[in-house]
Amino acid sequence: MKNRLRVLRAERRWSQADLAGHLGVSRQTVNAVETGKYDPSLPLAFGFAKLFDMRIEEIFFPNGDEASGA
């Protein structure tokens, strides 16, 4: 699954540690989600969505379906 986390985080000038702190997870978890190595749990995905005030499908999208989430 791909995502726009790096862009969204950069827009807010947050580090991975900042984002992790908001969500109560480790920085490595944020990194693994950002790089697509790890798909977050549903609660964590909702956490991202709430934090960025977006819908989950606006942040995460299936591989090769990047346009639909933007």
Torsion angles phi and psi, residue 60, rounded to 5: -110, 140
> Which of 3, 4, 8, 23 contacts other proteins by CB under 8 A?
23
Stretch 51-70 residues interacting with other proteins (CB under 8 A): none
In angstroms, rounded to a whole number, what is the distance separating the alpha carbons of residues 68 and 30?
Answer: 22
CB 31, min distance to other proteins, A: 4
* Residue 38 DSSP one-character state: S
CB atoms within 10 A of CB 52: 18
**Residue written as token pair 């977006």:** 54
CB of 66 to other proteins, least distance (A): 18
Give the interface with other proteins as residue ranges (CB under 8 A): 6, 16-17, 20-21, 23-29, 31-32, 34-35, 37-38, 40-41, 43-44, 46-47, 50
